[in-house]
Amino acid sequence: MKSIKYLLSILLLVSGMAVSGASKIAPNEKKIVIEGAMHLKYEEGKMQINRFSDELWSREDLNNFSKSKALTQSGVRIIFRTDSKTVKPVFSDREGADLRKPTNYYGIYKNGEFIGNMKGDSLILESPEGGIVEWEIVLPIYYGVNFEGLILDDGAKLFDVKREKRPVLVAIGDSITHGAGQTKCGSNGSYPFVLAQTNGYDLYNLAVGGSQISPAVAGELTEVKADIITVLWGFNDWNGTRGDIEEITRRYTALLSELRKVQPDARIYCILPTTAADESGKNGKKGKIPGRPLSDVRDAERQVVEAAMAKGDRNLFIIEGNKLSSTQDLLGNVHFNNKGAARFGKTLAELVK
């Protein structure tokens, strides 16, 4: 009966009618905190949560950057404190975004403790013991949404969220960093989130599945001061260019140069490509077009980083991704499974302190 009551409440609220026993809180209420996205746009009762700026799409140095994947919100958190015993967060599908039904899961934290992952169509937060509770909702991996607010018990209130200033981590890369391969969880299951959660960092995940090394992404970091930047990019360049090492070298060099211009003091950790089940480079249709082995991509990126370090960049570091991962961590050829992502994130947490 409770689920029917709240479904009815939502329908009536959407139609603009008053609802007995429930109150609607607008998504732009100042006591609701949204972390992990630099670009928020509120209109017509919806909060549009963007990881990337509109200006990004005019840049020429974007390579295989999918807008539908970029419009998802991996790593984004919505935090609020309330004395409502029941809370119904209201989300709607985002037009133009990836909407992969199996990934429509949210990670839920209650007073800082992880309590589980919930499917979007059954997302109701309950605190029967009462009292003021701080809720944190981690948005999905490959399911883009608009945030439309909260439905609270009648008479319940929101309270100010108190967040301490934390070091800022920016994670850049492709689907591995975006969170592909992690299932039945919100983006809290991705390795950047695990890394950030373990070390107490404020996370911005700027990874996009399917993307190739794109120096343009560095321009997105003009509105935040990053303490730590991780870069794990190159798999799709390896596949898409059949291992064109010269092009990979050019793109990677340009990316690091642009990152250093906008973030002169950040520690940048260059994670060389992690383990793949097949690293032979025989990509292309049905695997018949010979390419370069993945080790050549690692060597190329390593040389770029070493050259920058030799010129005096003391805040640039190399992490051998394949030495921190194994085929047991994988779901498919390159993506981490849930345990693999958690293990990789915790291992990185020890290296980037």
For 126-139, give one letter per residue: b (16+ CB within 10 A) or e.
ebeeeeebbbbbbb
Among 33-37, 202-206, 228-232, 280-284, which is the least confidently predicted range? 280-284
Which residue type occupies 135? Answer: W
Q: Give the tens place of pLDDT for each residue, 292-310.
A: 999 999 999 999 999 999 9
CB 331 within 8 A of CB 277: no
What pLDDT score was predicted for residue 291? Answer: 78
Mean pLDDT of 321-347: 98
Band of the pLDDT at 248, cuts 50, 70, 90? very high
- pLDDT of 223 above 80: yes
Domain spans of the chain?
17-159, 168-351
- pLDDT of 80 above 80: yes
Mean pLDDT of 29-47: 97
Cα–Cα distance for residue pair 328/320, rounded to 1 Å:
17
Cα–Cα distance for residue pair 49/249, rounded to 1 Å:
33
Closest by alpha carbon to 263, among 312, 221, 232, 306? 221
- pLDDT of 68 above 70: yes
Band of the pLDDT at 283, cuts 50, 70, 90? low
Which residue do the tokens 């018990």 mark? 153
Architecture of domain 168-351: 3-Layer(aba) Sandwich (3.40)
Torsion of CA 39, 43, 46, 47, to 10 degrees: 10
Same-fold call for 17-159 versus 168-351: no
Q: How far is CA 103 from the centre of its chain?
A: 13
Give strand pairing partners of 171.
205, 230
- Which residues make Cβ contacts (< 8 Å) with residue 50, sequence separation at least 6? 37, 38, 39, 40, 41, 71
pTM: 0.93
Q: Give the tens place of pLDDT for each residue, 90-100.
A: 999 999 999 99
Architecture of domain 17-159: Sandwich (2.60)
Mean pLDDT of 30-47: 97
Cα–Cα distance for residue pair 258/255, rounded to 1 Å:
5
